[in-house]
Copies of this chain bind each other. A is one copy, B any other.
Amino acid sequence: MRKIDLNCDCGEGYGIYQIGQDEKIIKYVSSVNIACGLHAGDPFVIARTVQLAKEQNIAVGAHPGFPDLMGFGRREFNMTNDEIYNLIIYQIGVMQAFCKSQNIQLHHVKPHGALYNMAAKDMNLSRAIVRAIQDLDPQLIVYGLANSKLIEAADEINLPYASEVFADRVYLSDGNLMSRSIKGSVHEELENSLEQALTLITEGKVKCANGEKITLEADTLCIHGDNANAYPFVKTLRTRLQDLMINVCPVGSK
């Protein structure tokens, strides 16, 4: 039986600020990536979100980002690879502790925002990230953009990884995502996102901006919780996947 993981960024509030639709979306995904307090999240938000995931019995991942609350971790930072290593240690440590305090196991690590995008293209940066993950727990699964340097770096040190694909973003023929700043880089129509998702999951292929069809491994599909369409999208997707007898479950589960 075929299977796919659906993951969603969660716990991205801070203090009184709330964002996303965690309570609604979390029921339809099989894993969540929780912000660790530097680009979003605070100790109370993290605890609440881990508890929410535990109640739904889905996999919990750390979602480390740059220390930039005002920019929500979406601005690039120049850091040495040693600094990156420590930045990752810090944030995974936070999430391991909240998992431990609620008697669950941290399942994966997915870098956030600018860090995710930079790692996708930078082998040395990716090596710093995967080394930090391995030093803390070699069973943690790295979630990275399919075909990216982050996946390559994880593979290099035999760290488990999951190739992530996107339903609502337009791909370039080299497997990278078209930048959000370019008009038309995000599918507005639900039906387009659904079609891209299903083609990725069932065929491992995606039609790129230039019309070319490329092959991408698809272990996990990202649901953007801050997208207004996220809720209807994920509900419909689950129904279609059920019709196709495709199992939705965390990466690595049996």
Residues of A within 8 A of B (CB): 13-17, 19, 37, 42-44, 46-47, 67-72, 75-79, 82-83, 86-87, 89-90, 92-98, 100-101, 132, 135-136
Contact = CB atoms under 8 A, between A and B. Distances in A.
Contact of A90 (B19, B92, B97): B97
A5 B43 CA distance: 31
Given A93-B97, A97-B96, A101-B136, A42 B15 contact: no
Contacts of A47: 86, 89
B19 A87 contact: no
A20 to B, nearest CB: 11
Nearest to A39: B15
A151 B83 CA distance: 35
B43 A89 contact: yes
Given A86-B46, A86-B47, A89-B47, A15 B72 contact: yes
Given A75-B78, A94-B94, A86 B15 contact: no
Number of copies: 4
B98 A95 contact: no
21 contacts: A14-B14, A15-B72, A43-B86, A43-B87, A43-B90, A44-B82, A46-B90, A67-B70, A75-B78, A89-B97, A89-B98, A89-B101, A90-B98, A93-B93, A93-B94, A93-B95, A93-B98, A96-B96, A97-B136, A101-B132, A101-B136
Nearest to A15: B70
A135 B101 contact: yes
Given A15-B72, A47-B86, A101-B135, 19 more contacts: A13-B17, A14-B17, A15-B70, A16-B72, A17-B19, A42-B67, A42-B70, A43-B83, A44-B82, A47-B89, A75-B77, A90-B97, A90-B98, A92-B97, A93-B93, A93-B97, A93-B100, A96-B97, A97-B136
